[in-house]
Chain A
Amino acid sequence: MPKWLFLALAAGALRAAVIRGVVVEHQTGRPLARTLVTVQPVAGTAGVPVSVRTNVYGAFEFPPLAAGAYLVTASRRSFAPLQYGQKRWKAAGVPVVLEAAGSAVLSLRLQRFGSIAGAVVDENEVGLPEHEVIAYRNTRPPQLAARATTDDRGVYRLWGLEPGSYLVRTAAKKAQDDSYLPTFARETARVDEARPVEVELDRQTDDVSVRPFPGRLFTVTGQAFPSPQAPATVTLVSDVGSQSATSDGSGGFRFDSVAPGIYEIYAQAQADRRAGGGLQAAFAPLVVERDYTDVRLRMGGLADLQILVEDLRGQPVDLTLFQAMSRRKDLSGDGKPETLRLRQGHAALLPGRWELSLLTTAGYYVARFVGPPGAVAERGRADGWNEIAAASGPLTVKFVLSPNPGVVRGAVTGANRAPVAGAPVYLESYDPETRKRLTDLRQTRTDLQGKYEFYGLPPGNYRILSTFEYQSPEPAAMDAAGAQSVKVEEARDVEMALALYVMQ
């Protein structure tokens, strides 16, 4: 090895910084072996994210790192992920700042997710076994968060819950001659009268018992008619979840123990391969107030969604530069966003209600959305989610792009007016009249010099906040933190100096 190379390597090694530490269970202090610990350099710091696992004593040490600022996270199955420096759950992590040849020794304490425990009991307080219990986030409509089944004593335990407010409900149940209606804790059929259950990290909320109402449940049976005959997956959706069944050889399907209420019913099956394969599907609304024996789902081809993208002058823009997203919208709420797999601007959509969104590059923003009659842009902003109804046949939507987005940039300073490296900055598109958030929150972190930048912004009103207090602040948190208002105009850069917000 040349002498100069050896000296350079030795100097580099001498000047390298080190992060080491230990990960323990918060409640007991026991070491957590095989925990994944990751360092992510803040913009401006050399290097790439690196991960290591703790040893049997919970200890970890990263290979030598360049001087700079790093976000450190630790995760292990069944524990809430932790960012170093978090003040509390859902607060943002604080970067570890390392001088050349500096070292940091971190002690990371992982907390467990919250849980809810209780029993499903009858009128004599005797536990009801094999009863399904569901935890919902206390939202409207309630969002399914976890499921459990009672044991032989009627006891259940719902776990893996993020801190927050929940509702607990038993599912409909038919057993021998008895049938029980879905019932919220402690004993109500109405969501508005349900008992909210508060959940915290490292804590189990006990004695959340439910006494389900005896009552009449219904059966929904029918036939799906795919062509050619093939097993169809039929899904029955209500505002509190869904259940699926597979049709038999003659297309028959059956749902037992269906509580009275409003439902949507979906069916899908493989289409004839000779006709190009893919899927065939059907969709129908259904109000259950009696036994149904004749639900007929005539299955057809999927909606042939064509997405057109053009600029303000009506000239087509290459769609492959962007990412089109979709999410299903049904009675149980919004589905998971997924990237649409487009072929020459076309994609197949199952029948039903959908929301579409286009993720543009920094040089554009979505100025307008044109859909079929009835299409609705989320709170009037085309750069958010746009709702459409899909049925078998062609369906065309158009995103109109403007090449003149605005930019918001600036620097974040701390108490001593020093720039804050790695500080989270949140940008919220905001309607000052309705005082509502218009699209999903945008966020970034400052670089080593405390600078941040948001590109590709549609014109409009925004609020901006830099803080370590939250990971994804709600509008109420933005209000409380005194987020600054900013107006973005086409093709204009706005300079905003921000003072780091710290909760007193």
Chain B
Amino acid sequence: MRNRSLARQSARAAAALLVAAWLSFSLQAAVVRGTVVEHQTGKFLARATVAVQPIDGTPGAPVSMRTNVSGLFEFSSLAPGAYVVKVTRLGFMPVEYGQKRWNSAGMPLSLDDTAPAFLAFRMPRWSAISGAVVDENDIGLPEHDVVVYRNTRPPQQVARTKSDERGVYRISGLDPGTYLVRTAGAQYEEGAYLPTFGRESIAVENARLVEVDLDQQANNIDVRPVLGRLFGVSGSVVPDPPFTPTRVTVATDMGRQTVTTSEVFQFVGLTPGAFEIYAEAPVGNDVSVTLQGAYVASTLRADLGLNLTLSSRSNMAFDIRGGPPRMLTTDVRLEARRKDLAGEGEIVRVKFTRGMAQLAPGRWEVRLIAPAGYYVSAFSGRASYRANRARPDGWNETLVDGYGGIVRFTLTAGGGSLSGIVKNGAEVAAGAPVYLEAWDADTRQRQVDLRTTRTDMRGNFSFRDLAPGAYRVLSTFEYRDPDSAAFDAANPPSLRIEAHGDQQRDLDLYAIR
């Protein structure tokens, strides 16, 4: 009897504890809700993804949800703290809460348990350029390739499309900025057109500049291509086994064309000048070799025929020295991107098979993301002529040709670190972006890709495993990915990181006045 009474008392106590815990949790839960609409029209955006990411020091994991048919969302059980809130939907530019401009960083949203926060997001569309490709009588030229480049030197290709039967084209999905529009070379039965910049220029220096802004379309960007003589490169691929689907790419300083073939290929509409051509195919029956390829760099002066015999002997292999004992290939991340006349290609992760990783023939840039506690201290590879002045912890250029060879990275323990506090006046800046740029003061150039972090709830930041060298560090909400010119304008402090050194540097939050 006494036991039963004790049991009842224990059960009541447990229930009371549970209720108290639930009540305290409910009382402490913060709520954020809001709407997402199209910026131009105010129409509800259903199924937009809203993600909240707690900044360090705020409990909880990132969560996301979709807006309902009326563009509404609600996160009802977040811990009090600070969050970065981001909204994305296909066809729209991503938006972060508190952004000053489209390329600014989002401000953290501070939440407490006293009142729910209501956010209204208006999503702008990307920029677009439209116009027509016309002949000498302003008649539209159909199915003519139109290429948009960033106004850089060399111009960077960002998008490509074809004109319709009226000669009209439209290219969307552009960041705000300055662009160049150019038609590709085209060979028709009735004649050939040279690649021509808008409005009617062969030389990039005379090209028309096109400014685009968010939610805007630059219209009437017409191009009148110049008539002339074009050449072609054609031939056959010889993979092993025969008829294996092979990707063949021709690259010039104005872009790339790719076809997939198992036998013959043809590229037309090429202008005289330097070109590179590379072919790549999988190898099916050898687990230790995954790729076969071929690479040719030459100058086009007339129509050219080429036979590309694919070989896996010419692949480049990778060797990693140093690093932690018993390091596995999964502990590092090896990335590569094509480097050809058209610029830098898409970044791909290179997989290791039985401890070996391979790259198909051609020019490449490679980088190794070191395991925690290490940094890349040395790089060597065939024709790595940029390695002398580039930092080995960044992108390293190498040539993979018919002789194969080995690319070697060396990992060293004891990289430097940098930490500090970001203050906005007398207050600590929670969730502030901090950018670290490896910087060469002599050439005034960025050495490796920018490193980014955010301060925690107490304004602390830190970067670890830094390769020794010169850096600049900046904390600001003004940019999401500041370039070197933005760093110059903000005039951030320079510093030198030494191996095994732990540098402490507090920062003032930079804001454009």
A interface residues (Cβ-Cβ under 8 A, vs B): 25, 30-34, 36, 53, 56, 58, 77-78, 112-113, 115, 122-130, 151-154, 157, 159-160, 175-178, 229-231, 246, 249, 270, 273
Is the C-beta of B135 less than 8 angstroms from some C-beta in chain A? Answer: yes
A154 to B125, CA, bound (A): 12
Q: Is the pair A58, B137 in contact by a Cβ cutoff of 8 Å?
A: yes
Q: Is the pair A130, B90 in contact by a Cβ cutoff of 8 Å?
A: yes
The interface centre, meaning the residue of A33, A178, A246 with most chain B CB atoms within 10 A of its CB, is A33
- The residue of chain A having its C-beta at the shortest distance from the C-beta of B45 within the complex is A126
Is the C-beta of B256 less than 8 angstroms from some C-beta in chain A? Answer: no
A33 to B71, CA, bound (A): 52
> Which residues 141-167 of B have a CB within 8 angstroms of A?
142-143, 164-166
A129 to B188, CA, bound (A): 32
Q: Is the pair B136, A177 in contact by a Cβ cutoff of 8 Å?
A: no
- Given A58-B137, A151-B172, A176-B90, output 4 extra A-B contacts at Cβ < 8 Å: A33-B135, A53-B190, A129-B91, A159-B166
- The residue of chain B having its C-beta at the shortest distance from the C-beta of A31 within the complex is B137
Q: Is the pair B165, A78 in contact by a Cβ cutoff of 8 Å?
A: yes
Chain B residues within an 8 Å CB radius of A154: 91
Chain A residues within an 8 Å CB radius of B71: 124
Q: Is the pair B243, A230 in contact by a Cβ cutoff of 8 Å?
A: yes
Contact with A along B226-247 (1 / 0, CB 8 A): 0000000000000001111100
> Which residues 15-59 of B have a CB within 8 angstroms of A?
38, 43-47, 49
A130 to B43, CA, bound (A): 19
Whether A151 contacts B170 in the complex (CB less than 8 A), given A30-B139, A77-B142, A129-B91, comes out as yes
Q: Is the pair B137, A122 in contact by a Cβ cutoff of 8 Å?
A: no
Chain A residues within an 8 Å CB radius of B243: 230-231, 270
Of the candidates B69, B136, B170, B262, the one whose C-beta lies within 8 Å of that of A124 is B69
- The residue of chain B having its C-beta at the shortest distance from the C-beta of A32 within the complex is B139
Q: Is the pair A159, B164 in contact by a Cβ cutoff of 8 Å?
A: yes
Is the C-beta of B191 less than 8 angstroms from some C-beta in chain A? Answer: yes
A177 to B68, CA, bound (A): 13
Chain A residues within an 8 Å CB radius of B136: 33, 56
Of the candidates A53, A112, A130, A231, the one whose C-beta lies within 8 Å of that of B166 is A112
The interface centre, meaning the residue of A123, A151, A246 with most chain B CB atoms within 10 A of its CB, is A151
Q: Is the pair A160, B172 in contact by a Cβ cutoff of 8 Å?
A: no
A33 to B224, CA, bound (A): 14
Whether A77 contacts B143 in the complex (CB less than 8 A), given A30-B137, A124-B44, comes out as yes
Whether A152 contacts B165 in the complex (CB less than 8 A), given A30-B138, A124-B43, A177-B47, comes out as no
Q: Is the pair B164, A152 in contact by a Cβ cutoff of 8 Å?
A: no
Q: Is the pair A178, B91 in contact by a Cβ cutoff of 8 Å?
A: no
Q: Is the pair B139, A229 in contact by a Cβ cutoff of 8 Å?
A: no
A153 to B242, CA, bound (A): 44
A154 to B45, CA, bound (A): 13
Q: Can you give 24 contacting A-B residue pairs, CB < 8 Å?
A: A36-B189, A53-B190, A56-B137, A77-B142, A77-B143, A77-B188, A78-B165, A78-B166, A112-B165, A122-B46, A122-B47, A124-B45, A124-B71, A125-B43, A126-B38, A126-B43, A127-B91, A151-B172, A152-B172, A153-B91, A160-B165, A177-B66, A229-B284, A231-B262
Closest chain-B Cβ to A347's Cβ sits at a distance in Å of 22
Classify the secondary structure of A's interface with B: loop
Chain B residues within an 8 Å CB radius of A34: 135, 190-191
Chain B residues within an 8 Å CB radius of A31: 137
Contact with A along B101-129 (1 / 0, CB 8 A): 00000000000000000000000011010
Chain B residues within an 8 Å CB radius of A33: 135-137, 139
Q: Is the pair A176, B164 in contact by a Cβ cutoff of 8 Å?
A: no
Chain B residues within an 8 Å CB radius of A160: 165
Chain B residues within an 8 Å CB radius of A126: 38, 43-46
Chain B residues within an 8 Å CB radius of A30: 137-139
Closest chain-B Cβ to A133's Cβ sits at a distance in Å of 14
- The residue of chain B having its C-beta at the shortest distance from the C-beta of A159 within the complex is B165
Closest chain-B Cβ to A67's Cβ sits at a distance in Å of 30
Q: Is the pair A152, B137 in contact by a Cβ cutoff of 8 Å?
A: no
Chain B residues within an 8 Å CB radius of A78: 140, 142-143, 165-166
Is the C-beta of B343 less than 8 angstroms from some C-beta in chain A? Answer: no
Q: Is the pair A152, B66 in contact by a Cβ cutoff of 8 Å?
A: no
Chain A residues within an 8 Å CB radius of B125: 152-153
Closest chain-B Cβ to A121's Cβ sits at a distance in Å of 10
A448 to B144, CA, bound (A): 43
Closest chain-A Cβ to B447's Cβ sits at a distance in Å of 36
Is the C-beta of B282 less than 8 angstroms from some C-beta in chain A? Answer: yes
Q: Is the pair A230, B241 in contact by a Cβ cutoff of 8 Å?
A: yes
- The residue of chain B having its C-beta at the shortest distance from the C-beta of A127 within the complex is B91
Chain B residues within an 8 Å CB radius of A130: 90-91
Chain A residues within an 8 Å CB radius of B242: 270, 273
Closest chain-A Cβ to B504's Cβ sits at a distance in Å of 43
Chain B residues within an 8 Å CB radius of A273: 242
Chain B residues within an 8 Å CB radius of A151: 170, 172
Chain A residues within an 8 Å CB radius of B140: 78
Is the C-beta of B176 less than 8 angstroms from some C-beta in chain A? Answer: no
A78 to B170, CA, bound (A): 18
Q: Is the pair A123, B172 in contact by a Cβ cutoff of 8 Å?
A: no
- The residue of chain A having its C-beta at the shortest distance from the C-beta of B128 within the complex is A152
Is the C-beta of B173 less than 8 angstroms from some C-beta in chain A? Answer: yes
A159 to B190, CA, bound (A): 22
The interface centre, meaning the residue of A125, A229, A231 with most chain B CB atoms within 10 A of its CB, is A231
- The residue of chain B having its C-beta at the shortest distance from the C-beta of A76 within the complex is B190
Q: Is the pair B244, A231 in contact by a Cβ cutoff of 8 Å?
A: yes
Chain A residues within an 8 Å CB radius of B38: 126
Q: Is the pair A36, B90 in contact by a Cβ cutoff of 8 Å?
A: no
A229 to B90, CA, bound (A): 39
Q: Is the pair A123, B69 in contact by a Cβ cutoff of 8 Å?
A: yes
Closest chain-A Cβ to B65's Cβ sits at a distance in Å of 11
A75 to B166, CA, bound (A): 15
Chain A residues within an 8 Å CB radius of B188: 77
Chain A residues within an 8 Å CB radius of B69: 123-124
6 closest pairs, A vs B, by CB?
A78-B165, A129-B91, A34-B190, A78-B142, A152-B172, A249-B284
Q: Is the pair A178, B47 in contact by a Cβ cutoff of 8 Å?
A: yes
A152 to B138, CA, bound (A): 27
A36 to B188, CA, bound (A): 12
A58 to B138, CA, bound (A): 13
Q: Is the pair A129, B90 in contact by a Cβ cutoff of 8 Å?
A: yes
A25 to B69, CA, bound (A): 47
A25 to B137, CA, bound (A): 10
- The residue of chain B having its C-beta at the shortest distance from the C-beta of A121 within the complex is B43
A246 to B281, CA, bound (A): 14
Chain B residues within an 8 Å CB radius of A112: 165-166
Q: Is the pair A113, B165 in contact by a Cβ cutoff of 8 Å?
A: yes
Closest chain-B Cβ to A73's Cβ sits at a distance in Å of 15
A157 to B166, CA, bound (A): 11
A77 to B186, CA, bound (A): 13
Closest chain-A Cβ to B251's Cβ sits at a distance in Å of 24
Chain B residues within an 8 Å CB radius of A32: 137, 139
